[in-house]
Amino acid sequence: MRKKTVRDIEVRGKRVLVRVDFNVPLTPSGEVADDRRIREALPTIQYLLAHEAKVILCSHLGRPKGIEARFRLDPVARRLQELLGRPVHKLDEVVGPQVEAVVHAMRPGEVVLLENLRFHPGEEANDEEFAKMLAGLAEVYVNDAFAAAHRAHASTAGVARYIPAVAGFLMEKEMDYLSRALQDPPRPFVAVLGGAKVSDKIGVIRNLLGRCDALLVGGGMAYTFLRAKGLEVGRSLCEEDKVDLARQFMEDAEARGVSFLVPVDVVVAPEASPEATCRVVPADAIPPDWMGLDIGPQTVEQFSKEIRTAGLVFWNGPMGVFEIEPFAEGTRRIAQAMAESRGITIVGGGDTAAAVERFGLSDRMSHISTGGGASLEFMEGRELPGIVALQDVSS
């Protein structure tokens, strides 16, 4: 079901509460280190300002335990003000009489940023009274925080019970791209999954096996699949309790005619460190006291061939310990193959987005999701509370 967006509702002269995702990394001195999530929210904010709305922004930052000065949103407000080129009035509270006084005195075209939502215990508890207080600040609610859409919090789900709720442009873009992968993808549809554990991707693998044409597995999770093929994996990360499930997934793929590729060669080392001695070995020849830390060049070539000829590629999870240079090449080369693909390329947020950014290839992807956990749950086929709460186009 398609959801209404900010285009489908009158905002002129109205107080609009916008849930954004300004959960950005900060430098040791307390300034914004990476403003991508702030920039992603600009189209929605600028649309509202152009239509003379009174814009009330709310976001969380980090995982504070109560009120912690280091998680205040002041540096975010400063960076947003620079990007918008107009004043942003940062408040020191989330709700309460002082907040109400400020927002009710707002004029069209003004921007207010509430304090960190997680400073209030009612946010993560989806407390009804807190949700009512947030809703009471505005006449319209816009959710543009896809990265938080899988959480049933007061600011993502609760507030939508009390005022009209629609999607912002970033939320709309996320839904459009991820839905395209699940509903009617251009063929062949290739899924690339990495990261540490099979247990983190069970739902995604199960859902994608019935939809994709090829599934490529790398990262730490690959060694559980190699173990399921009867191979020794040395000291590589391996979830022994998931070996049978991994075997079942490969059998299901074969029965469905889905190409299921695991590494044929890997980069191994005695330890994951920049100084470690490393070498490339066949996947069936991992030394007993070594561990696999990246996919090898033959695997890169196999995976890249599938990616370059795909109609649509969804990638979530690095191919190795890319933060350490000796084990970064697999992830770098897969990112390069994505950049060279003729098809639609979707990067599933989190570490994968960070890797693509690090390798300078962000602008060559069709879409980079802002939500790692949210994109995974979406690709599992699960309903996300923050999306369910929005008005349907037909309503």
pLDDT of residue 251: 97
Percent of the chain at pLDDT exceeding 70: 99
pLDDT of residue 371: 85
Give, as one character, the DSSP assignment of residue 166.
E
CA–CA gap between residue 229 and residue 297 (Å, rounded): 21
Instruction: Profile the chain (395 residues) by mean pLDDT over runs of 10 residues.
Output: 92 98 93 92 98 98 94 97 97 96 97 98 96 97 96 96 97 94 93 91 93 96 96 95 96 96 97 93 96 97 96 96 94 97 91 91 94 90 94 83
pLDDT of residue 1: 64
Phi-psi category of residue 369: left, alpha or beta, with phi > 0 → left and psi -120 to 50 → alpha = beta
What is the tens place of the pLDDT at every residue in 152-170? 999 999 999 999 999 999 9
pLDDT of residue 368: 93
CA–CA gap between residue 263 and residue 147 (Å, rounded): 31
Which residue segments constitute the domains of the chain, with CATH numbers given? 6-173+384-388 (3.40.50.1260), 187-342 (3.40.50.1260)
Q: What is the pTM of this model?
A: 0.91
SS3 category, 325: helix
Helices and strands in the chain, H and E counts: 13, 15
Q: Which residues are catalytic?
A: 37, 197, 350, 373
pLDDT of residue 395: 53
CA–CA gap between residue 20 and residue 231 (Å, rounded): 46
